[in-house]
Amino acid sequence: MAVHRSLRDGALVLELDNPPVNALSPDVLVDLVAAIDAGEADSAVRAFVLAGRNGIFSGGADIRWFGKAPPPGAPLLPDVIARIEASPKPFVAAIEGTAFGGGLEIALACDRRIASPRAKVALPEINLGLLPGAGGTQRLPRAAGNAAALRIILSGAPVKAAEAQQLGIVDAVESGDLLAAALASATSGPAGRTRLSERAVAAEPEAFAQARAQLAPIDKGGLAAHRCADAIEAATTLPFEAGLQRERELFMELLASEQSKSRIHAFFAQREAAKVPDVPADTPVAAVRTVCVVGAGTMGTGIAMALANGGLTVHVVEAAEDALARGRALIEKNYAASARKGRFTEAAVAERLSRIHFGTDLAVAAHADLVIEAVFEELDIKREVFAKLEAICRPDAILASNTSTLDIDAIAAGSSRAGDIVGLHFFSPANVMKLLEIVRGTHTSAHAIATSLALAKTIAKIAVVARTCDGFIANRMLAPYGRETMYLVEEGAAPQDVDRVMERFGFPMGPFRMYDLAGLDVGWRIRKRRLAEGRFATLREPEIGDRLCEIGRFGQKTGAGIYRYDENRTPLPDPQVEALIVAESARLGITRRPVSDEEILNRCILALVNEGAKELEDGTAIRPGDIDIAWLYGFGFPVYRGGPMHYADTLGLARVRDELNALAERHGEHWRPAPLIEQLAARGGRFAELQAYEAKAPAWT
Ligand code: 3HC
Ligand code: NAI
């Protein structure tokens, strides 16, 4: 039974019960209509109360059913809402927890809404590239006015109960017995219907013009936003029924769009990424409350803030007092800036700072449930730190490294507790960037991975699990992408052309601006180290970045890199760099030529896709969706394109294969399609079909 019925005090209480989020799947809707029919026919029923079990009202329409035909006889959500609207008996919604999307739309069709103080309401469809398609765009402006409706629907952000009451979205907030309050309202409130659909709404064309001016362009991910604005405006220009009709048409347009399919893919990929085949859901998870962060540089300070923001107690340990003081000052400065910008209140900042403790004695790690090492990227230094930690830490503590390039197995080599050692690769700035790569070594235990996944949730990070290798999932793909951007410039493109094309594609920042921001010297040092180790024997490393570093142009930190920067940090092409690039082409014997935008895009994206496929082959990534998540949240791949692997699916893998082969003919064998791409393309397949680890070599070679 997906909807429980009980007659109480003359009201039929209908409780949605479809765990975990009471999504409005076809069986819920069938039960709901049957219950309404029964209640209407029963003279003992004077009113209805709609509520949810599982601590939630409803997370909305069942996204898994989008694009599929409902089972025969099952109504659509708008039909059910029309049924509620048409009933002669009043409805009261009792909102416990979350009422999102279709959940809120059902509640808005009720006569009154009563919420618990912890309740949140939202119309988050825009995050899925959709609009509220079951009356939300027509009823919300009638409840809360155009400005609030625009803000809520265009942001998709949750509104807390108290604000929802102020805005007129809910009628009352009940801190006592919510169901009793809803019952009282249903049975002793006005007997007739009070429908939002009958309310007038003002036409405010200037509010819509203003809102539209802020939106992303339609072809840069803004399609849903524009259609949301169109649908809300229809509420102000059309009669209610015609407005609903318009909303439906616009919803169907969005449902068929690539932007929406990509965002829905990202929604599920994000949740799927937290499921690791050989880490069962019942794997014991350690409660992490106290974390020791070793190293208070760029990353250690950011990690400490991310942990404190998640409510944890943090001990930051540095090698020396001066470095510790610098780290502490950095954290205080960052928090002060957050307070100035209104991200946190002064009190919240003080509370967070009070949970971060600073010291130079590693002995404090004895109190930690988890240690995160963020010292210099040198294997010997890291191994020394881990050896000390083994002697100090509790036997049940998890020991993590934030290394970005080193092998977790090498860090764990010789350790008596390799099972407890895991990579926790945060991205810079760690208190801001959403991605957390959890890196498993050969011996990392399921317990350590499960605990890391739980930690990610606590500190609101989006986790993907990678196997240890050079660069893990995200940075390993950055290497061929980065090389390609440089090859393009050596051949004749200007850095600003490459940036323009990739920004047009949807990256918030083109690669050259990104290098300047991250610091060209970082790659320079890594390249020097790798060359010294004799790596990269097969593929030529571009040297433009090295030439720039040799003349002190490290990027924004030195005021100049690929670009020079004015006082507003606007990147400006620099003749000195142009000359340096031309000289580099000449040194390599390359005759410069015009490079088209299409070629730039193709080579940058296909370099990613091919490497991603290789990661699936060797098991670095569990599934294509994990790679997508790593690029969406680690490097700003546009979410409305779903991530590199999803995007490749939209291109079609036969086309991807053919273009890779064409590139191989022109630019060298390293472009040959990964065998996985050949295999899938040959059978007309897609990355999306692959089950976890299905692509891993032994399964298909
Ligand atoms: N449909 C189907 N499945 C859903 C779902 C939905 N609307 N919302 C959540 N789920 C699933 C998740 O995929 C996940 O499944 P899994 O356990 O198999 O991985 C499970 O429910 C739990 O989800 P979360 O891990 O996200 O749980 P949280 O407790 O962290 O968050 C939530 C709960 C706030 C409801 C969050 O899941 C959420 O924001 N969901 C999406 C809400 C949404 O976008 N609703 C609008 C739907 S579109 C709509 O209503 C169209 C209408 O206008 C016509
Ligand atoms: P950093 O140089 O800014 O900070 C390292 C800090 O560690 C310094 O403050 C140093 O004093 C301290 N330290 C060195 N040895 C120590 C010891 N034995 N005990 C305690 N403290 C010690 O370096 P950054 O950038 O913070 O990098 C740290 C780690 O994070 C590296 O492994 C790096 O590869 C990784 N990383 C860096 C990213 C970045 O963008 N900077 C991104 C992701 C990971």
pLDDT band at 524 (very low <50, low <70, confident <90, very high): confident
Higher-confidence position of 95 and 541: 95
Active-site entry in 85, 105, 377, 659: 105
Higher-confidence position of 535 and 260: 260
Active-site entry in 15, 85, 125, 484: 125
Residue of 331, 361, 376 best suited for mutating to test ligand 2, as the one with most atoms within 8 Å of CB: 376
How do residues 217-268 score in pLDDT, each as one tens digit?
999 999 999 999 999 999 999 999 999 999 999 999 999 999 999 999 999 9
The conformation of residue 51, written as its DSSP 8-state character, comes to: E
CATH class of the region 3-255: alpha beta
Query: How remote is the CA of residue 257 from the centroid of ligand 1, in Å?
Result: 20
Give pLDDT, residue 698: 53
Whether the per-residue pLDDT at 349 is higher than 80: the answer is: yes
| CA pair distance 238, 171, nearest whole angstrom | 26
Catalytic: 543? no
Please state whether 89 falls in left (phi above 0), alpha (psi between -120 and 50) or beta. beta
Task: Give all strands (DSSP E) within 443-599, no chain letters.
Answer: 462-467, 564-565, 571-572
Measured from the Cα of 518, ligand 2's closest atom is 40
Residue of 362, 364, 375, 556 best suited for mutating to test ligand 2, as the one with most atoms within 8 Å of CB: 375
| CA pair distance 51, 99, nearest whole angstrom | 10
How do residues 654-664 score in pLDDT, each as one tens digit?
999 999 999 99
Whether the per-residue pLDDT at 180 is higher than 90: the answer is: yes
Q: Which two tokens stand for residue 153?
A: 């629907």
Query: How remote is the CA of residue 21 from the centroid of ligand 1, in Å?
Result: 6
Ligand nearest to the CA of 408: 2
Query: How remote is the CA of residue 20 from the centroid of ligand 1, in Å?
Result: 9
Whether the per-residue pLDDT at 140 is higher than 60: the answer is: yes
Q: Is 495 helix (H, G, I), strand (E, B) or coil?
A: helix
Whether the per-residue pLDDT at 206 is higher than 70: the answer is: yes
The CB of 302 under 6 Å from ligand 1? The reply is: no
**Bridge partners, 252 (sequence order):** none
| CA pair distance 132, 126, nearest whole angstrom | 8
The CB of 196 under 6 Å from ligand 1? The reply is: no
The conformation of residue 541, written as its DSSP 8-state character, comes to: P
CATH class of the region 290-471: alpha beta
Which phi and psi angles does 639 have, rounded to 5°? -65, -30
Going by alpha carbons, the residue nearest to atom 53 of ligand 1 is: 132
Whether the per-residue pLDDT at 686 is higher than 70: the answer is: yes
The domain locations on the chain are 3-255, 290-471
Who lines ligand 2 at CB under 6 A? 294-300, 317-319, 323, 374-377, 381, 385, 402-404, 425-428
Which phi and psi angles does 323 have, rounded to 5°? -65, -35
Give pLDDT, residue 527: 78
Region 568-593: what's the mean pLDDT?
96
Residue type, 673: P
pLDDT band at 532 (very low <50, low <70, confident <90, very high): confident
Which phi and psi angles does 270 have, rounded to 5°? -60, -40
| Contact call for residues 465 and 272 (beta carbons, < 8 A) | no
How do residues 573-582 score in pLDDT, each as one tens digit?
999 999 999 9
Query: How remote is the CA of residue 492 from the centroid of ligand 2, in Å?
Result: 37
Comparing CA positions, the residue from 420, 465, 468, 19 lying closest to residue 275 is 465
Query: How remote is the CA of residue 403 from the centroid of ligand 2, in Å?
Result: 8
Whether the per-residue pLDDT at 536 is higher than 90: the answer is: no
Q: What is the average pLDDT value for the chain, to the nearest integer?
A: 95
Residue of 18, 21, 54, 64 best suited for mutating to test ligand 1, as the one with most atoms within 8 Å of CB: 21
Comparing CA positions, the residue from 668, 632, 635, 661 lying closest to residue 647 is 632
| CA pair distance 319, 360, nearest whole angstrom | 6
Give pLDDT, residue 405: 87
Region 479-495: what's the mean pLDDT?
97
Task: Give all strands (DSSP E) within 238-367, no chain letters.
Answer: 290-294, 313-317, 356-359
State what percent of residues in the chain have pLDDT above 90.
92
| CA pair distance 36, 185, nearest whole angstrom | 18
Sheet architecture: strand order including 462-467: 356-359, 313-317, 290-294, 370-373, 398-401, 421-426, 435-440, 462-467
Whether the per-residue pLDDT at 425 is higher than 50: the answer is: yes
The CB of 60 under 6 Å from ligand 1? The reply is: yes
Catalytic: 490? no
Q: Which two tokens stand for residue 683?
A: 């059978």
pLDDT band at 537 (very low <50, low <70, confident <90, very high): low
The CB of 26 under 6 Å from ligand 1? The reply is: no
What is the β-pairing status of strands 290-294 and 313-317? Answer: parallel
**Of 150-159, 366-375, 523-532, 542-551, which range is least confident?**
523-532
| CA pair distance 137, 105, nearest whole angstrom | 9
Q: Which two tokens stand for residue 44?
A: 């003992």
Whether the per-residue pLDDT at 171 is higher than 60: the answer is: yes
The DSSP code sequence of 131-192 is: --TTTHHHHHHHHH-HHHHHHHHHH---EEHHHHHHHTSSSEE-SS-HHHHHHHHHHHS-SS
| Contact call for residues 628 and 272 (beta carbons, < 8 A) | no
Whether the per-residue pLDDT at 700 is higher than 60: the answer is: no
Comparing CA positions, the residue from 628, 692, 682 lying closest to residue 653 is 682
Name the one residue in this structure whose structure tokens are 């779903």: 642
Residue of 294, 299, 389 best suited for mutating to test ligand 2, as the one with most atoms within 8 Å of CB: 299
| CA pair distance 230, 244, nearest whole angstrom | 12
**Of 133-137, 275-279, 648-652, which range is least confident?**
275-279
How do residues 7-28 score in pLDDT, each as one tens digit?
999 999 999 999 999 999 999 9
pLDDT band at 699 (very low <50, low <70, confident <90, very high): very low
Please state whether 425 falls in left (phi above 0), alpha (psi between -120 and 50) or beta. beta
Comparing CA positions, the residue from 136, 135, 114 lying closest to residue 124 is 136
**Of 373-382, 393-402, 533-542, 615-624, which range is least confident?**
533-542
Give pLDDT, residue 67: 84
Name the one residue in this structure whose structure tokens are 């509220």: 132
Region 277-287: what's the mean pLDDT?
95
Give pLDDT, residue 693: 82
Query: How remote is the CA of residue 1 from the centroid of ligand 1, in Å?
Result: 20
Whether the per-residue pLDDT at 189 is higher than 90: the answer is: no
